[in-house]
Homo-oligomer: A and B are copies of this chain.
Amino acid sequence: MKSHYQKPRYLIVIEQIREKINNGELEPGEQLPSETALAKALGVSRNTLREALRILEEENIVIRKHGIGTFVNRVPVFQGGIEELFSITELIEREGKIPGTEILFTGYVEPHRDDVEELELEEDEQVFLVKRVRTADEVPLVYCIDKVPDSILHKRYKLREESIFNSLRDAGIVINHAESKINTIAYHDEISKIMNCDQHTPLLVLRQVHFDELNRPVLYSINYFRSDQITFNVLRKRI
């Protein structure tokens, strides 16, 4: 019954600044008032304002220049890059399309060598395997192979949802991040046929180990995307 606590002020400040940008009060490239002035105007301390600005800078909404000022970033920034972890369901919905699923297999199987390593499996531990084709507006987009260690699932686990992410969350497993490898293959006898691809359409392959908050590997997935249906975007930063 903890009802709602007050939202931190720096989050409110972030919203206020975003709003100023969205409604045109602050235009792209325009300089913000100085920190001292803006803090006073928003009724917060300079520290709180700086916390907000730091986050806005991380998100590429503003740019800060030492000794000069803070500016609204020109570019609206590339949304939904690959570095942001989302489920296939989310990916499809973001494109404004309707996700569909055709389940090809579910059940417990012996793991492969890779599975044992990536998922840090115990000896003789099985994996729960799901093979599916995911569609966007009825068009095949990606062939998904998902493997979850036996040990972290209740035996009565079943795939009730479209999204494995949601399904795992309902089972008390929250995915925090993933280590992904992007590659490509020209043609795969089985998969290319299922995906209705000819020899001229390679498959983009995403191999991912997903981890929960405790850094335990909880899901190993291999996704074969039709390369004519998708492109991965990345915002790369110089460090």
Q: Which A residues fall within an 8 A CB radius of B?
A: 63, 73-75, 77-78, 81-85, 175-187, 199-204, 208, 211, 215, 227, 231-239
Inter-chain contact B182/A236, CB cutoff 8 Å = no
Q: Which of B63, B73, B204 contacts A183 (CB 8 A)?
A: B204
Q: Which residues of the partner chain B approach A180 to less than 8 Å between Cβ atoms?
A: 233-236
* CB-defined contacts of A178 to chain B, threshold 8 Å: 235-236
- CB neighbours of A227 from chain B (8 A): 183-185
Residue of B nearest to A85 (CB): B236
Residue of B nearest to A185 (CB): B202
Q: Using Cβ atoms and an 8 Å threshold, which residues of chain B touch A201?
A: 186
For the complex of A and B, 4 pairs with smallest distance between CB atoms: A85-B236, A184-B184, A202-B202, A182-B232
Contacts A/B (CB < 8 Å), 26 sampled: A73-B215, A82-B234, A84-B236, A84-B239, A85-B239, A176-B237, A177-B236, A178-B235, A178-B236, A179-B235, A180-B235, A181-B231, A181-B233, A181-B234, A182-B182, A182-B231, A182-B232, A183-B227, A183-B231, A183-B232, A184-B184, A184-B202, A187-B200, A199-B199, A208-B236, A234-B234
Chain B, Cβ-Cβ closest to A236: B85
The smallest beta-carbon distance between A126 and chain B, in angstroms, is 24
Q: Of residues A74, A180, A208, A235, which shows the largest number of chain B Cβ atoms within 10 Å of its Cβ? A: A180
Check if B208 sits within 8 Å of A186, measured CB to CB.
Answer: no
Q: Are B175 and A238 in contact (CB under 8 A)?
A: yes
Taking a contact as CB atoms under 8 Å apart, the answer to whether A186 and B186 are in contact is yes
Q: Which residues of B contact A208 (CB under 8 A)?
A: 236
Asked if A184 and B200 sit within 8 Å, CB to CB, the answer is no
